[in-house]
Amino acid sequence: MQAAVVTSFGTPPTYQDFPTPTPQAPDEVLVDVLAAGLHPRVRSQANGSHYTSSDQLPLVPGIDGVGRAPDGTLRYFILPDTTMGAMAEQTVVDLRRSVELPEHSDPVLIAAAMNPAMSSWLALRRRITFHPGQSVLVLAATGNAGQMAVQIAKHLGASQVIGAGRQPERLASLTELGADVTVSLDGDPADVARRLGQAARDVDIVIDYLWGQPTADAIRAIVMNRTDAGRPLTWIQVGSVAGPTAAIPSAALRAARLQIVGSGQGSVPTRDIVTELPELAAEIGNGTFRIDARTVPLSDVEAAWKDRESDQRIVITADAPAHQ
């Protein structure tokens, strides 16, 4: 079969022949892959930088996707940490880590949206106790996961959603997705801190895709401006597009009722993730959330990898091989 194959962590995957995998356990099946998302997590899997990376090569990247199972059902699946990923004509899926989709589902939409949507869906539903009526700030709301977070926070009952990001056009479009307020993260850090300190000082929950220096600055700005220092502030660390480490001032943890938690693979148990899949897939399938996606055929995977400029979520599509 054909697959996207990584042979060196320094170079993008290439389209080439790869042995068809075989199911090894009773719950495993070989699926014909229809669509697999090129998420930031997949890029870090393919360049060996993700915290779950095992350094094993060659590997086929892709952590999730939509495929056709041998019984004819359409399924969204999440793969375990494996070198046999989703960006191939076929892959092995554990049925317990998959959900059957209605036949009319759009594989591209599901493959594009599930991963970015899951980041905030799981954070709010499984990692913390979120109450409808609480307010939510999304940092890096202009990214794919951030735009989902704005929509999901609103959908789950947030009283106010504040979207913060850099790119002006995307920032402006967040109001159409449900943001009540937007804050620009562009420009002088002191000005950004002032804007956040005003707009988000009394927020209840932060969904943070940034980390790095912008997060350290944002924590200081919000904590120092709180109307009521005793009001709980739950900071959920979900992504790190601005840096892997952040220097959080110790005073911030003493001066306000701030707690910082992380949400991702590991801190949310696999069983919780799997439990949430059907409802989230149904909402996405019903068109509850919007995502801007673009398809690229598997044969062009190398070019897709080199395209870092597009804001759209790239979805790799495969034609199933002819069955013998």
Q: Which residues of 156-180 are buried (b: 16+ CB within 10 A; e: fewer)?
A: bebebbbbbbbeeebbebbeebbbb
CB of 313 to ligand NAP, least distance (A): 7
CB of 273 to ligand NAP, least distance (A): 9
Asked if 140 is part of the footprint of ligand NAP (rule: CB under 6 A), the reply reads yes
CA atoms within 13 A on the CB side of 81: 13
Q: Does 128 bind ligand NAP (CB under 6 A)?
A: no
> Of 115-123, 220-228, 276-284, 295-303, which part binds ligand NAP (CB under 6 A)?
115-123
Binding window for ligand NAP (CB under 6 A); candidates: 33-41, 67-75, 220-228, 284-292 = 33-41
Alpha helices in 156-295 (DSSP H): 168-173, 189-199, 212-224, 250-255, 270-285
**How long, in residues, is the chain?**
324
User: Which of the stretches 51-59, 75-83, 220-228, 232-240 binds ligand NAP when contact is defined by CB under 6 A?
Assistant: 232-240
**Of the residues 67, 107, 143, 163, which one makes contact with ligand NAP according to CB under 6 A:** 143
283 Cβ contact partners less than 8 Å away, ≥ 6 residues apart: 155, 289
Cα angle: 152, vertex 156, 161; to 5 degrees? 65
Residue 242 is a binding residue for ligand NAP (CB under 6 A): yes
For residues 153 and 162, what is the distance between their CA atoms, to the nearest angstrom? 10
When binding is defined by CB under 6 A, the residue of 45, 151, 234, 263 that contacts ligand NAP is 263
Question: What angle (nearest 5°) sits at the alpha carbon of residue 78, between those of residues 95 and 46?
Answer: 140
Q: Closest separation between CB of residue 11 and ligand NAP, Å?
A: 20
| x/- map, 176-205, ligand NAP, by CB under 6 A | ---------x--------------------
Find out whether 219 and 257 touch, Cβ atoms under 8 Å. Answer: no
Which positions touch ligand NAP (CB under 6 A)?
39-41, 115-116, 118-119, 140, 142-146, 165-167, 170, 185, 209-210, 214, 238-242, 263-264
